[in-house]
Structures are given as C-alpha cells and as structure tokens.
Structure 1
C-alpha cells in the first residue's frame, strides 16, 4: 500500500494507492496527534485483518520532525522525497503545470508506487545522533548569523567611519565590540587613550597588547573621509544597536559549543571520528550530525561520497565525457568536510601530498580541496564500517609502500 503525504505547517494532504495505481482513499489531516490517529484509522480500515501481510510505504518531502518520527515509530516505511524529484515527477504526469496539495499527494503516492527502489528511506539514526544534530546545527546557524550581522556592521562603518575598518581586523571580537560601543563616531574614537584600548584588549585576552594598541590608536586618529555631523550621529545610533547582536551571539555560540562537546563525547563513534585528520570536536560533531549513524544508510563508500557531494558527476554523450562538481548538496556537510580538508593538510603528510599532487596536475585550489575531502570521506567510511580508528599507513597504502621502498 502506498501513501503520498503532502505536508504543510497546519495540515497534511494524504492519498492512499494500491499496487495498480487505484486511489483507495484521500483526506486532509490536521497536524499533530489527532491527524496521526486519523491516518492510522484510514490505513487500518483499508488493511483490515491482513495488517501483518501488508507493507505501507509513505512518501513525504521531509525527513525530520515529530510527524515523520511518529510514522517511523508506527512501523511504516517512510521514504524521503527530494522536492526537486517530486517536481520533475509531477511534470511527467501532466504539462499544464497545475498544482494543488491534493495533486501533490497523488504525485507522491504514485512516485512511491513506481520508484520506491530509487528513493531513500528515512535514516534510522539513534537518539544520540539526533541530539548531536540539533545542537551542532544550531551552533553552526549561530555562526552564520554572526557573520551576517558582522557584514552589516562592516558595510555601515564603511559608509561613515572607514578608520574603524583599518583599526580592527575582527569586527566580532570582544575588544572591537567594546571599543566601538564606547566610541561609535570618528571624533570619539580619536580620543581613545592607549590605556583604554589596552584594557579592552586585555579583557579580550589579546596577545602583544603593547605593540598592537598604538597601531589601533594611530589608525583611529588618521585622516579619513567622513559624513556631516548629524548623519554621523544617525549612523552611530545604528551601529550601537548592531553591536549588541554579535555580542549576544558570541556568548551563545560559546555556550552551545559546550553542549556540542557534551553530546558528541557521549556518542560511540566519537573516538573514530576524532581520530580522522582535521576533525576536532566541533567539526566532528557536524560531520556525524549530517551523515547520521544508521549503519545501513550508506551501502558503500561511493554512496557516502555521493551524499556528501564531494564526488563528481559525469555527463557523457557520444564521444564527449565531462566530470563536473556537484552543486546540489548538503551545505552544512560540505562546509564541514571542506574545513576538515584544509586542516588535514596541516596534520597529515599524506593528505598534503595528495593535495599537492592534484595541484601539480593543474587543478585549482578549491577543486583540489574537494578531491581531498572526497578521499577523506572514503577513509572515514572505511573506519566507521570496520570500527577502527584512523591509521595513516592504512589510509594511504601507496604512500606507505613508497616510503618502505
């Protein structure tokens, strides 16, 4: 039995279909316990006394949330359908481009009926892995949000106070936020003393304060183009408000990092993941969060690489064959894997040699980094599959053979 579930925030449009494509039932169900109970009742009435002999496959365009968890807990086979896949399948069924929630439920049910073997079941991740995912994703979202606010602050300062951009390298640093809060205008910043600057830097635990403080003061007192006084005061009021956001985010990012460390440290795979070159607690938690820990999810290293988006895609037609990067991928995962590859080059001689080999072939920096990340994903897959920590000689056997020779 096949079910299409087109979900929205407040309701679900569902359609139940049999093996022949005949519609057995359709309904709009409310979100929550009441809607789930009605769905169970609909399927129960259709299945009857043959419940043990009927498999129910449900297609839905998400793989998380209480509704999906309840479906999995009820014993249904839940298939996560990418919205792009559903849109392409919808075009196969009609060319009018008509769209409705009920029609989307029909598309999902028919897609599950005919292409279930090509769809990805919702991963059976453990509760620990889901907990790591929650805190790791929120932590990264806060970092991205801090970057956005810092860029807003940078653009505002450029419009009326360019000297601040010359004086401060990190606009989201604690001492920068403190000094700009005290002196948000060029005139007030020019009156900052060495003692005031040094005190702020000391509270932020900066190094080489005696050398850096005079440089900051000189940059703030240098001649720069500015704005009329009344406009400057308006900008200063805006900056005063903008400064509050990065400060709060800095505190919460630090607090949440402790939660990431705590949850990740309790996971059984933490030791293996931390043994990988370039993966510390934060990056390791992100990698675990995005890959999940369902041991049956990735049939091979290639499957894990494809999901990661590090492996290339091939387009071939006749005698023409081109390998291209995957631009449709999990942004959070590819961000973590790229950061791992950058750090691994400093920790693993073989990883560095692999990167240098790609560069020697004429590959640019980012494609070479992506190829290194792809290799590291394969190594991680092997370690997780065998339950063994990373070993340089095992991971790079050709390098080990050359060294032995």
Structure 2
C-alpha cells in the first residue's frame, strides 16, 4: 500500500516475497516519489520479512517498524472488514504517515541474528516437549490414572525412562520392585529404588483393564522415548 502525505492511496497490490519482484517495487515507489522522501513501514522485524528489510536497508530507504499489537489496536478506528491483508496494509501506511514515535529498523549483526534464531529454536523445543508430556499424561490418565499422578513427568527423567519399558499395571506387578529397580539402575536412572516402589504402588492400586489399554500403552512408550 502506497499513500501520499495527505493519505491518498497511490498504489495497492499484492507482492510476492521474491527478490526481483521486491526490487522492482522499491524502484517503482522511488519513481512515484520523483526524488521526494519515501518512508516504508512494516509490522514484522524478522521471519518472512527479512528479505524485504534487507533490500530496503541496502537501498538506504527509511524503514519504520510498527508492532503488530499497535496495528491491531489502531485498526479498530478504520472502516472496512474486520481483518484483511489490504486493511492491515492501509492501517500500517496511515499510521506511518501520522505517527512520530515509531522506531526505524536498522540492520542486525550476525551475532544478534544467530542468537535470535537459536532462542527461537530453543523455544520451539521447549514447546514441543511440553506438548509431548501433556499428550503422554493425557494418555496415561485414560487407562492408568494412578501412574499418571505418581510422577511429575516434566522433571523426572527416571519416570519417563520407566515408561519406555513398563506402562501397564499388570506389567509392573509382574516385574516386581527388585526387577524394576535393577532395570532402571542398569539404565543409569536416579533414585531407581524409589521410582520402582512408587510405580509398583500405583500398579497395586489398579487391577481393572481399561479397553484400548494395549494401544494406549504403546503410544505412551513411544512418547516417553522422545
């Protein structure tokens, strides 16, 4: 979306995130400005906008950053559909025209970019682990609630290790405390005796076999290995 100093719309079109296409857009806008100052504005400062940001900075273009939440709050005062790409573009352009408190985007150094990438990756891994633990607990709760509440699976590696080999009440009872502790100890589990005792206590609390237990137990074992 391109507007002039009075807010009049000069250009509105969807543009592919492609180097040649973006360079052509930058050139077109510069031509429209006819030597005048051009201000670009964007509501992303990384991710899919990285190519456009890099091209604009390399072309010495003035680029402002408008946080997404700012666009969201501002859009309520504009007419039109609740949320569309075209409306968001119009809001961003108009806010850039009127506001004087927006911060310019500057090129990031390699270290800062790499730290952001690594931090995002760690966040994704933590979220994936949380989802996995939640799925595991939900599955256990369905067929073996006593074992589900026996451990904090988000912190106990020994409990997760136990589930890779034993997931059902009858299986735990058949193994017995000594065999369970030895099995865990052989795999370097901490507090093997205590974990085995607590698991066996849960096993003795349930003798009813829930329908679908075999498949659910297999899924628990798979989740525990992740």
TM bucket, shorter chain: 0.7 to 0.9
Contact 1:160–1:235 (Cα < 8 Å) also in 2: yes
Show the counterpart of 1:170.
153
> Do residues 190 (structure 1) and 149 (structure 2) align?
no
Contact 2:130–2:154 (Cα < 8 Å) also in 1: no
**Structure 1 residues 164 and 39, CA, compared in 2 at 3 Å: closer, same or farther?**
same
CA RMSD of aligned residues (A): 2.8
SS class of match (2:15) = strand
Show the counterpart of 1:241.
222
> Do residues 106 (structure 1) and 106 (structure 2) align?
no
1:75 to 38, 41, 60: 60
TM superposition shift of 1:42: 0.8
Q: TM-score, length-normalised on structure 1?
A: 0.48
Aligned residues: 222
**Structure 1 residues 185 and 106, CA, compared in 2 at 3 Å: closer, same or farther?**
same
Show the counterpart of 2:209.
227
Within 5 Å, give how 1:80-159 maps onto structure 2: 80-94=65-79, 97=81, 100-115=84-99, 117-122=100-105, 124-159=107-142
Contact 1:179–1:197 (Cα < 8 Å) also in 2: no
TM superposition shift of 1:84: 3.4
User: Hey, what's the Cα distance between the residues in 1 that align with 2:77 and 2:15?
Assistant: 27
Q: TM-score, length-normalised on structure 2?
A: 0.81
TM superposition shift of 1:80: 2.2
2:20 to 34, 40, 51: 34
TM superposition shift of 1:144: 2.1
1:203 to 171, 180, 187: 187
Within 5 Å, give how 1:354-373 maps onto structure 2: none
Show the counterpart of 2:42.
60
Show the counterpart of 1:313.
none
User: Hey, what's the Cα distance between the residues in 2 that align with 1:238 and 1:99?
Assistant: 40
Give CA-to-partner distance per residue, 1:178-208, whole Å, 9 cap, x none.
Answer: 32122222111222242443342453452x4
Gaps (5+ residues) in structure 2?
A: none
Gaps (5+ residues) in structure 1?
A: 1-14, 248-405
Flag the structure with larger Rg. 2
TM superposition shift of 1:134: 0.7
User: Hey, what's the Cα distance between the residues in 1 that align with 2:109 and 2:56?
Assistant: 16
